[in-house]
Homo-oligomer: A and B are copies of this chain.
């Protein structure tokens, strides 16, 4: 491997790490929240701490512990107390804030108990109090609280039924929010009339506040009326659990609480701030790439679709840069984010990021001085211990020397074993954050 290619690979790793650092929970919190004397400064807004009677912290998500730890340190003796729900195994000790480990992605009784404790805590706050919430990936499953009279199992049966009908994500969310006591702005209602600040680590494409963790702190646009239309559309009203049917009837009659809407007084006292997102990771990666002397281009943070096809489009851009200097002249670094999907065809071992790099490597075979890196910011790619992989214009030649057939590995969704043999897996270990994936293409 040439020195030039080695340098490109080192740079790619450094650029990825810079992106990762920017969205590590503690770092992300410290960039957006500062203590200044007796005040907390959040996104330029000043909160005078002695003005509040109680200051509590609450939240849920895989990154809840490290996010909350920063608040605990910053608030110090001003902090009254708090409670967060985290995924099993994601616990790091806190001092004043209680932690409930709970089930994810399937919610469980522990999650219910933890959510009840959060609601109990919010029942103690008043207009002179400050509630700071943290939300991160997994926040929806980790904040379960079905509407009165409905069990977790009945709620899950309902969403399964809808999925089977082919309901789209907006329809699913409308139903979910109307079977919950916390989703769709209802946790913000529970905090009202306290001042509520929500700090968010976004794992959803485009950072839609009403979708992240099912939007517990923001106004909902869907209604019980809309829920009825969805049930009619798919003709499944009679197949729903009796308790769910009953709840929807009550909702239509105004006997079950509608989700809060834009303009509600609740939202005059709330502030939402995204402290870490794919876009922020990418901005940090871009800054690092510029520092290293690359011309940079952010393609999109909103990339979705079938991984191997998305990879082909990326490879076509890399090849065009090499061939014509479009869309930018080398030394070039193209960055993209979002999260792709993999349609499983084989029974190999891999993940979307490793599969992306394998498919792209096939297309950039023999392109000189071109490196492609893709990795999950959570440090996990599919059911593997790798975050992703690194490929370049020599990957396919090196594979041939080892008698590996790249297309066969791709067809079998076996990207992990392919890159394992080449020594090109990217392994970071768990990062405690998740802002989806980063993809880099460096053309020297």
CB of A152 closer than 8 Å to a CB of B: no
List CB contacts (< 8 Å) of A306-347 with chain B: 306, 309-310, 312-313, 316-317, 319-320, 323-324, 326-327, 338
- Give the interface of A toward B (CB within 8 A): 206, 279, 297-306, 309-310, 312-313, 316-317, 319-320, 323-324, 326-327, 338, 363
Which one of A300, A304, A313, A363 has the highest number of Cβ atoms from chain B below 10 Å of its Cβ? Answer: A313
Contact A302 B327 (CB under 8 A): no
CA distance A128 to B324 in the complex (A): 37
Contact B327 A298 (CB under 8 A): yes
Contact A327 B324 (CB under 8 A): no
> Provided the pairs A206-B319, A306-B306, A319-B206 are in contact, do residues A300 and B312 lie with their beta carbons within 8 angstroms?
no
> Provided the pairs A309-B310, A323-B206 are in contact, do residues A316 and B302 lie with their beta carbons within 8 angstroms?
yes
Contact A297 B327 (CB under 8 A): yes
Known: A300-B317, A301-B324, A309-B310. 14 other contacts (CB 8 A): A299-B317, A299-B320, A299-B327, A300-B313, A300-B316, A302-B316, A302-B320, A303-B312, A303-B313, A304-B312, A304-B316, A305-B316, A306-B306, A306-B309
Contact B313 A279 (CB under 8 A): no
- Can you sample 10 A-B contacts with CB below 8 Å? A206-B319, A297-B327, A300-B319, A301-B320, A301-B324, A302-B323, A304-B316, A309-B309, A310-B313, A313-B313
Residue of B nearest to A324 (CB): B279
Residue of B nearest to A314 (CB): B313
Contact B301 A312 (CB under 8 A): no
Contact B299 A305 (CB under 8 A): no
**Least distance between A405 CB and chain B CB atoms (Å):** 11
CA distance A313 to B363 in the complex (A): 17
CA distance A326 to B310 in the complex (A): 18
Neighbouring B residues of A313 by C-beta, 8 Å: 300, 303, 305, 309-310, 313
8 nearest A-B residue pairs (beta carbon): A309-B309, A305-B312, A300-B320, A298-B326, A302-B316, A300-B316, A305-B309, A313-B313
CA distance A313 to B336 in the complex (A): 10
CA distance A343 to B304 in the complex (A): 19
**Least distance between A406 CB and chain B CB atoms (Å):** 12
CA distance A227 to B165 in the complex (A): 53
CA distance A206 to B305 in the complex (A): 25
**Least distance between A361 CB and chain B CB atoms (Å):** 15
**Least distance between A260 CB and chain B CB atoms (Å):** 23
Neighbouring B residues of A324 by C-beta, 8 Å: 279, 298, 301
CA distance A279 to B323 in the complex (A): 11
> Provided the pairs A323-B206, A326-B298 are in contact, do residues A338 and B316 lie with their beta carbons within 8 angstroms?
yes
CA distance A45 to B222 in the complex (A): 69
Neighbouring B residues of A363 by C-beta, 8 Å: 304
CA distance A118 to B147 in the complex (A): 82
Select one of B298, B301, B326 contacting A300, CB under 8 A.
B326
Neighbouring B residues of A206 by C-beta, 8 Å: 319, 323
